[in-house]
Amino acid sequence: MNEVFAQDIKIKTQSMHVYQIEGKVLKPKSLNNDSFKNMIQETEIVINSGKYKGFLKDDGTFVIKCVQPGSYLLEVVSSKYVYEPVKIEINNRGKIRARKVNNMQPFQVILLQYPLKLKTNATYNFFQKREHWKITDIIFSPMVLMMIVPLILLILLQKSMNNSGFKNEMENLQLPNFDSSDNFPDVTKMFSNLIDRTQQKQLNHRLKNCIYK
Amino acid sequence: MGKLTSYSVVIFVILNLIISQCNALYEDQIGLFDWRKKFVGKIKFGHFDATNADKAIIATDENVLAAISSKNGDILWRKVFEKENTRGEIKFLHVTKNSKSVTSYNEQNPFDVITVNGYNPILFRGWDMNNGNLIWEWAITPTTTNPEESMFFFNEFNIYHVLPVWNSHIEVTEYHASTGQPTKSTSSMISAGWINKDRCVLSSQYFACVVKEQLLVLDLLAETNNIRTKALESPATLIKVLRGQDNYIQVGRQVISLDDLKIVFENRDDDEVYIENSNILKLTQSNKNLKITSDEQEVTELNDLPETLDNNLQIITSKCKPKRENPNQLACRLLVSTDDGALALIQQGKIKWIREEALTKITAVEFLELSLSDAQGAMEEELNNADADILSSMYRRLHSQYSTVKNIVLQVLGLGAPPSFSQRAGLVRDDFGLHKMMVIMTQSGKLFGIDNVSGKQHWVKILKNFEGFANGQSAKLLIQRTSKYYPHPAQCAIIAKDKNTGNGILYQFNPISGQSIDKGVMNLNFKIQYASLLHEQGENFLRGILLVDDKNNVHVLPETSLKQVDGFFLYTVNKPSGILTGFLLQYDEKTNTANMMPTWTVNLGGTDNEQKITHIASKNAIERVHSQGRVLADRSVLYKYINPNLIAVVTEGPDSIHKYILNVYLIDVVSGAVVFSMSHRRAKGPVKIVHSENWLVYSFYNEKIRRNEITSIELYEGKVQTNSTTWSSLNSPPVPLVERQTYIFSSTIAALRETITEKGITNKHVLMGLETGSVLEMPWMLLDPRRQSMVPPEKQREEGIIPYIPELVVQHENIINYNQTIARINGIYTAPSGLESTCLVLVYGLDLFVTRVSPSKTFDLLKEDFDYFLISTVLIGLITASYVVKHLAAKKTIKQAWK
């Protein structure tokens, strides 16, 4: 009988040092009180991926009881809101501090407020946006632009040619005794006319000679 | 520093570009090809809510507290506690019976639902019945040696912690329920030397024990501890608390009320007994017939009990009231459960719903292709005889056409042959092979055949006396023949251990219809040490089963396939000692027997046998590797080291200097050669590992820096391939070149699996089940060990290799189960579909989730958002335009001709 109690005391002293982690999950701004209650129903606090678990009260507070000294990773598991994980360190004297998690630089210490105030900064985005077909997509695609712009230019140019005295000028340029079987103006000639009239005349003579030889 | 940040920004941009190529779900695809089913586990305690019994509050052996709707069996809310029993196990559940306090709580009635969890510490919690939110919580750390023996009861506003110290005394502590304040300064000790572990129960405030031929009852609330005794007719061995009303126990076959120690009922036939409002309900079950009677008055009778409930039904909780037309008779709403965990609600002689809670403990899964439809089958038959001459082929052709026409006519007239089972159930192969049958084996020996598209349960089979093998090895589910060999149906086999004798059990069945083949369950007369399929098909395309018993004798089923074992290599593992042994089987023609010859032994136990084997990862047997090598930047090919006999073995153990050491070995199991080994200091589990093609990926916990890490290893033969046609482990294969890299991962991984497709052309992604309940599809490109931290000059840059950055980022778009989290992921199963691009996925744990993934996008299928409208308008427009233009052109030519 006495032995049993002696053992009891020993265990008592060993398991005395347990502490509790406290905190509060703050209400996301977009939610009202009722929907926050629903959110709480689906949210839980997980420490070291399930070694300890905490459950939220209606106001978002949680307490994880009887945690032994050590270093822990605390996560808020919610299927909708993203919360940053927090590193909790409890030393042997029961002092608790909360740190930002940085896996890349594990020795860098950025302290966080304790008792924890956990704020969400985003919602999960699991989905890709579907691309909808729009008329503008086609119009502004490079292929279409490449086809349409020269087309418009061509029309515009023709119009401007019609309107101005340019056309008359061009007609003047043309030599009267050209072969009339061909209605279309010789493009090469037209442009070369533009370049240099005198040269053009000489060239024409030469060409004529060539043709009528 | 500035340079570094700009560098990391560049990497980030590159990474983002690559990841954005990766396929995520579209929002409108929710539920299109995925489904989730939530479970709670096998019920331990359950009570209806007091007002109108429209929900049941239940606590389960999976450490889950949940509210279940009585109407349809849906989960209204669910709280999942810690998996480990020290903190998570539900020891006690109290649901208030006072109907007034249900809706509101105040200081007088501050609770609807109370749970007590764990034994070190013991956590007391009060819950809101309507939404499952926590109301109050407190904990005690027990100070005794056997806190797991704790018992609890509730009385008025107080909760009592009863701790028996066997053969010595009982310690009772009283707490105010909602605050956790002890009501007395000390706990009371009641000395009771007569208490014995197996013969005592606590029913509300009474502590009852059977001592020899006496029943001793102690009222723990009474001021003076007087023990009441009752003499029993014969020394009883059984003592149990009856469900339903408090203060009733069954001793031997007598039901005794503890208030007055009177025998209220004599349970002569040893049936299940339940008590509600002093009414004794007796449940009799025989041959698919269920009868519940009260005082010889029938309450409910079910004549055609479904097979899934035919396994020791028990009443968990009930709500009865006298019938209006006949006040002597009772009308009851009953919540019943079976041994395997199936939960059902019975009301007015009907089963309203059934929940299959056995599915929380899945041990093996296979996806099987469905059988051909009747018409396709007929066609297959016609094409089957390839070696016939022209005339007979001609005849068969005409005959099949004739029978098709005949069938159509008969079908129209309604005289045709009845459609086959699979045709009726809609279990017919589809064009893309996406529709499959999931054969699921659970720990309790219940088998399920579930449709992967609809989630419908087509068949169920309960194997009696079923148990998994020793060392945590589950029973085996083997596919002896797939559905490809028409007209032979598919065939599966289950090999397990008999619970009573320890001998092997073999059960062969048709996985599509669920019917047993031959004799059903076969009891083998030896203990099984090793079981596997033979490599080659025997008669009727059936692959034989190889069994090795504990005396190293070789058995083959069917026995005619015994010849095939010649030259079969196998290995056995002793996990605790870390020893692997390889064997070669040889067939002796003279005696028609096969014997097993040890060929090699590898001891991975290390000095003092500290290292224990924790995981063994072999490659998927149906895996195909399409690409034999990798093209380097200089256009040369680096050949993959693809050794089908390679396994990865993980050992873990403590170390005097580094605290923990984790070793990974790659072993060729034919020759016993250790191809490669790695060691991680101060690293420990849980290790998750996946082994495929020429690579290996595993995750572990780095104790030194306290973070999770993932290591990937790739093996290459080099620039020359030793033998491109066949691999031989015995002809001194080359030593592979090894590429390795380790990444930091922010979450804990609960399960790993690679995607698999039919021909292996599609990229392989790694599916990671996270502890938070998400399943992440990680592209191999990010895990690639050839990612280098130094960015090589442009000329040496290989295709598809991104610069190394230590941390693997969880991209939310890559979470394939979006917000459908899966509690306590236990495993992931992948299977190829008929489409090369698509891989079927089943994630299991507490919940089930089925979906499909296409790692290289659906390149062989039109996208579902393919714009049929646009393409048809464009086509029609072009056609009309060309006609109009043609017409106009004709007009113009005519005009010109007239000029």
Q: Give ∠ CA A59-A61-A62 in degrees, rounded to 5.
A: 145
Burial code of B557-569, b = ≥16 C-beta within 10 A, e = fewer?
beeebbebbeebb
Residue A174 lies in a domain: no
Asked if B137 and A56 come within 8 Å (Cβ–Cβ), the reply is no
Residue A189 lies in a domain: no
Residues A28 and A99 in one domain: yes
Residue A83 lies in a domain: yes
Residues A91 and A151 in one domain: no
The residue-averaged pLDDT of B16-26 equals: 58
Task: Round to whole Å and give the CA distance between B56 and B78.
Answer: 12
Choose the weakest-confidence range: B214-218, B275-279, B504-508: B275-279
Show the tokens assigned to B801: 């290799």
> How close B440 comes to chain A (CA, Å)?
26
Domain boundaries, position A53: 16-123
Closest CA to B115 of B166, B47, B192, B170: B47
Residue A200 lies in a domain: no
Task: Round to whole Å and give the CA distance between B646 and B670.
Answer: 8
Burial code of A40-72, b = ≥16 C-beta within 10 A, e = fewer?
bbbbbbbbbbbbbbbbbbeebebbbbbbebeeb
Asked if A66 and B121 come within 8 Å (Cβ–Cβ), the reply is yes
Choose the weakest-confidence range: B96-110, B221-235, B641-655: B96-110
B-chain CB neighbours of A82 within 8 Å are 812
**Hey, of A55, A68, A134, which one would you mutate to test binding to chain B, going by the most B CBs within 10 A of its CB?**
A55
ipTM of this predicted structure: 0.82
* Residue B822 pLDDT: 93
Task: Round to whole Å and give the CA distance between A206 and B179.
Answer: 117
Residues A44 and A93 in one domain: yes
The three-class DSSP label of residue B458 is: strand
Task: Round to whole Å and give the CA distance between B407 and B418.
Answer: 11
* Residue B325 pLDDT: 79
Residues A68 and A107 in one domain: yes
> How close A131 comes to chain B (CA, Å)?
9
Residue A181 lies in a domain: no
Q: Higher model confidence: residue B102 or residue B172?
A: B172
Residues A76 and A154 in one domain: no
Q: CB B768: neighbour CB atoms within 10 A?
A: 29
Residue B203 has pLDDT above 90, yes or no: no
Residues A80 and A153 in one domain: no
- DSSP bridge pairs for B655: B659
Q: What is the pLDDT of residues B424-462, one digit of tens each?
A: 777 888 888 899 999 999 999 999 999 999 999 999 999
Residues A85 and A148 in one domain: no
Task: Round to whole Å and give the CA distance between B512 and B235.
Answer: 51
Residues A142 and A45 in one domain: no
Which residue in A has a C-alpha nearest to residue B821's C-alpha?
Answer: A79
Q: Higher model confidence: residue B6 or residue B239?
A: B239
Q: In terms of DSSP bridges, do strands A81-83 and B629-631 run parallel, antiparallel, or are they unpaired?
A: unpaired
Choose the weakest-confidence range: B37-51, B287-301, B305-319, B584-598: B287-301
Ramachandran region of residue B234, left (φ > 0), alpha (ψ -120 to 50) or beta?
beta
Q: What is the pLDDT of residues B140-193, one digit of tens each?
A: 888 777 888 889 998 878 889 998 888 888 888 888 888 888 888 788 888 888
| Radius of gyration (C-alpha) of chain B in whole angstroms | 33
Asked if B819 and A79 come within 8 Å (Cβ–Cβ), the reply is yes
How many structural domains compose chain A?
Answer: 2
CA dihedral sign of residues B657, B662, B666, B667? positive
* Residue A170 pLDDT: 61
Residues A145 and A56 in one domain: no
Residues A90 and A141 in one domain: no
Confidence category of residue B413, pLDDT binned at 50, 70, 90: confident
Asked if B123 and A37 come within 8 Å (Cβ–Cβ), the reply is no
Domain boundary among A123, A155, A175: A123
Residue B866 has pLDDT above 70, yes or no: yes
With a CB-CB cutoff of 8 Å, which residues 101-140 of chain A face chain B?
101, 103-104, 106, 124-131, 133
Confidence category of residue B483, pLDDT binned at 50, 70, 90: confident
Q: Higher model confidence: residue B373 or residue B577?
A: B577
Residues A38 and A73 in one domain: yes
* Residue A107 pLDDT: 83
Supply the pTM of this predicted model: 0.85
Residues A22 and A117 in one domain: yes
* Residue B36 pLDDT: 93
Residue B9 has pLDDT above 50, yes or no: no
Q: What is the pLDDT of residues B657-716, one digit of tens each?
A: 888 999 999 999 999 999 999 999 999 888 999 999 999 999 999 988 889 999 999 999
Choose the weakest-confidence range: B192-196, B579-583, B586-590: B192-196
Task: Round to whole Å and give the CA distance between B177 and B156.
Answer: 9
Residue A2 lies in a domain: no
pLDDT mean across residues, chain B? 86
With a CB-CB cutoff of 8 Å, which residues 366-425 of chain B face chain A?
none
The residue-averaged pLDDT of B372-392 equals: 73
A56 touches chain B (CB under 8 A): yes
Show the tokens assigned to B649: 């073995």
Residue A55 lies in a domain: yes
* Residue B430 pLDDT: 84
Q: Which of A160-164, B246-250, B748-752 has the highest mean pLDDT?
A: B748-752
Residue A172 lies in a domain: no
Task: Round to whole Å and give the CA distance between B230 and B261.
Answer: 7
List the CATH number of the domain containing A58: 2.60.40.1120
Confidence category of residue B102, pLDDT binned at 50, 70, 90: very low
Residues B374 and B420: beta-carbon distance below 8 Å: yes
Show the tokens assigned to A86: 């927090």
